[in-house]
Each structure stands twice: as structure tokens, then as C-alpha cells.
Amino acid sequence: MHRFLNSTTALTLALAFSVNTASAQLAAIGPGEGQLNIVAWAGYIERGETMKEFDWVTKFEADTSCKVNVKTAATSDEMVALMNEGGFDLVTASGDASLRLIAGKRVQPVNVDLVPSWSTVDDRLKDAPWHTVDGVHYGVPYMWGPNVLMYNTNVIKTPPTSWKVVFEEMTLDDGKSNVGRVQAYDGPIHVADAALYLMTHKPELGIKDPYQLNEDQYKATLDLLRQQRTLVGRYWHDAFIQIDDFKNEGVVASGSWPFQVNLLKSENQPVASVFPDEGVTGWADTTMLHVDAANPNCAYMWFEHQLSSNLQSDLGVWFGANPSVPAACTDGRGMLTAEGCTTNGFDNFEKVHFWTTPTTKCETQGDACVPYYRWVSDYIGVIGGR
């Protein structure tokens, strides 16, 4: 849990966004510095070591002489903590981290004029509020996707239509209870998944946005999470540990990423995934440049590489995610196809409640919402049985 606490210091800035946009932007790209240090989600920076056909690093290194070093982070809070510590050039930040990094002045504005393929970015992402403040871009969109409900098809034979299987005790198709056989995400942003469930099942609470909760709505959400605590066998944050838990530890249902679903299916494991009727939360990730990046030229070369190479297409297949460049669905630069983008939910952008950082200022509840630092401390309490 220490990674949650490490990130709360940045939250004391309270996301007021008195952001100094005068930070120096790179005016021109010079020779590469020889290396590039990236904080990334598992599976995001592949060089063919996991599966040889998935490689979008080797050619970049050959073309630029920038050796890519990757530090995998398991949660957004860990990403914020690592960027606060420094020593990294780039981070693939989700919306619940990106605004904190901007407010904490840990990342610098990006000169999109130095990214030739910027014009190819999905118009739905170019000015997204999780990386754009006062018209200033603080990153380049990377990938986006949903948090799906993954389940064991031998145990749950009828595809579930609700998140109920991970929030309420029930008897599964094998005649056994779900107690101890489900998982939940080990990150405070999971509070939003519980709030999303309540939007459908307790409409009288008046929740309009799962990231904008007043005190009463927040209390009800914590109560649901405490109920979930009695069901959860393990809180997951490591994708590969979750994969092992589904294979070997009897876990049968959990919120997950398409990445885990795809890897398990590739091993012929009995899993499938669904978008439950309540909807899903999701992530739209942005590559952001550290304010004190030691290798900015290599970083800008990577910005262009991530938009113009096979990365968008092949990562979409590998992770079950959607490219930030729509053309990657159809232009044959990699393995992705139009059908693949449809399967990954490319046309359901408006149905995904993307991770963002909760603040007291909120449209739907009269600017009286519970801020993220309380989500952090209270979720630690929930997991600890309080």
C-alpha cells in the first residue's frame, strides 16, 4: 500500500491547476542522447521478448540509436510516485495520473509541431481534458481501452450481464459460492467501478458520474466496497499474477484488462470477457515528458514513432486496446484490422467512463465532491478490513 501514500504528496496541490504553462518546450529535435527511460504499463513496450511477433522497440532503437529502458508500473499511483522520484523521460499515464502530474509540475508541455504525425491522432483524443489544460498539450495520446469483466467459462457458463458477480455474494453455475473466488483492482480508482455499479442499482443516490461523488454517494460506494471485501480472494494490480490466479488459484471472475484476457486465451484457458449492462470504466493513456527529462530528443523521436510505426496496430492486437491513430485500424501497418478495432470497442468510445482524477470541483454535484486523496486513504482502509 505504500505506493498509494507516496502519491498523496502530489495531491496536496489539490489539482487547482494554477499551471505554469511557460515551461520551456523543445524548439527543435537534435541528435538522440543514446537512451530513453520509460515508465509504462505491463505489455506496453514490447521488443519481442514475450512473443517474438510483438516488437515495436527494436526498429526504433536501430533507427534512432536511442536504447529503450522500461520500468513497469502496476498502478497509476505507482506511476505518479516514480515520476515524483525522477530519473525517467516518459510515462504512459492514464487519466487518473495525468492531471496529477500536470498539477504537480512533473511533466512539461509538448510541442506538437515537432511531432509530424500529430495530425493523424483521433480527434476525440487530441484535446482530451486528461492531458490538455488551458489549451496546452502535456502529452501525446497512446492507447485507450475498457476495463472488462473477465470470467471462467467452465464455472460461469452463461455470460454474465452484470458486475454483480464481483460485488454481491451469489451461487455460481458450479453450485458453489463466489466468496473467495473473485478479485478487485488494487487501486483507489476502483472506487469508480463501485460507483458505476450503484448508478444502475441505486439510482435514488443520484450518481451522474462515477468520478464525481458527494458525501452520501461516496458513503454508499464505500459500503459496497466493504461488502465486496468479504468476497475478494485477492486484490490484483500485477497483470501476470492475475493471469496465474485464473490459471492456478481458482479465481473465476474479476475486472481486468483485455491484455490478460488475450494472453489467457492464447494459452487455451477457459476465459472470456464482457461489457456488463452497467457499463465499464476505462483508460485513455497519454505519453508524457518529465519536466526534467535527461533525454528529450529521444523522447520526441518516440512520440513520432508511437504514432507512425507498427506500434499502434500491433499493440492494439497485443493488448486488446484501441489505437490513438484511427488509420492504424485499416492501413495495414501491422496486425490490426477494422474488425479487430470493432472487437476492441473502437466504436464504443462514448460508452466508456474514462479514468480521471476526482476533485472537489465537479459539475454534477454542485462542486461538492469527495477528492481523490480521500479515495486513496479510504480504499486502503477498505482493503485492510476497515
| 275 and 176 co-located in one domain | yes
User: Do the bridges between strand 253-256 and strand 148-152 make them parallel or antiparallel, or are there none, so unpaired?
Assistant: antiparallel
Query: Which residue has cell 504512459?
Result: 92
Query: Which residue has cell 458527494?
Result: 214
User: What is the pLDDT, as a whole number, of residue 3?
Assistant: 35
Provide the CA 191 distance to its chain's centre, in angstroms.
14
Output the nine-digit C-alpha cell for 172. 455460481
Output the nine-digit C-alpha cell for 76. 497509476
| 270 and 308 co-located in one domain | no
Band of pLDDT at residue 328, cut at 50, 70 and 90: very high
- CA-angle at 102, arms to 101 and 105, nearest 5°: 85
| 82 and 178 co-located in one domain | no
| 189 and 315 co-located in one domain | no
Chain-wide mean pLDDT for the chain? 92
Distance CA(131)–CA(109), nearest Å, equals 9
Burial 209-220 (b: 16+ CB within 10 A, else e): bbbbbbeebbeb
User: What is the pLDDT, as a whole number, of residue 264?
Assistant: 95
Query: Which residue has cell 498539477?
Result: 103
Q: Which run of H or E residues covers position 283? A: strand 280-289
Total structural domains in the chain?
2
Q: How far is CA 69 from CA 89, 142, 298, in A?
A: 10, 18, 12
Q: What is the pLDDT of residues 91-105, one digit of tens each?
A: 999 999 999 999 999
| 376 and 253 co-located in one domain | yes
| 47 and 152 co-located in one domain | no
| 12 and 141 co-located in one domain | yes
* Cα end-to-end distance, the chain, whole Å: 14
How many other CB atoms are found less than 10 A from the CB of residue 69? 13
Q: What is the pLDDT of residues 14-41, one digit of tens each?
A: 444 444 444 557 899 999 999 999 999 9
User: What is the pLDDT, as a whole number, of residue 226?
Assistant: 98
With contact defined as beta carbons under 8 Å apart, do 216 and 266 qualify?
no
Band of pLDDT at residue 348, cut at 50, 70 and 90: confident
Mean pLDDT of 200-226: 98
Output the nine-digit C-alpha cell for 58. 527494436
| 310 and 169 co-located in one domain | no
Radius of gyration of the chain (CA): 20
Distance CA(365)–CA(361), nearest Å, equals 9
Tell me, what CATH number does 272's domain have?
3.40.190.10
H helices of 204-321, in order, are 215-229, 239-248, 258-266, 296-308, 311-319
pTM: 0.84
User: What is the pLDDT, as a whole number, of residue 20?
Assistant: 45
| 242 and 372 co-located in one domain | yes
Write the DSSP assignment of 61-89 as a string of letters.
HHHH--EEEEEEESSHHHHHHHHHH---S
User: What is the pLDDT, as a whole number, of residue 25?
Assistant: 77
The boundaries of the domain holding residue 323 are 2-145+283-354
| 8 and 123 co-located in one domain | yes
Distance CA(80)–CA(88), nearest Å, equals 11
| 6 and 94 co-located in one domain | yes
| 182 and 243 co-located in one domain | yes
Mean pLDDT of 354-360: 92
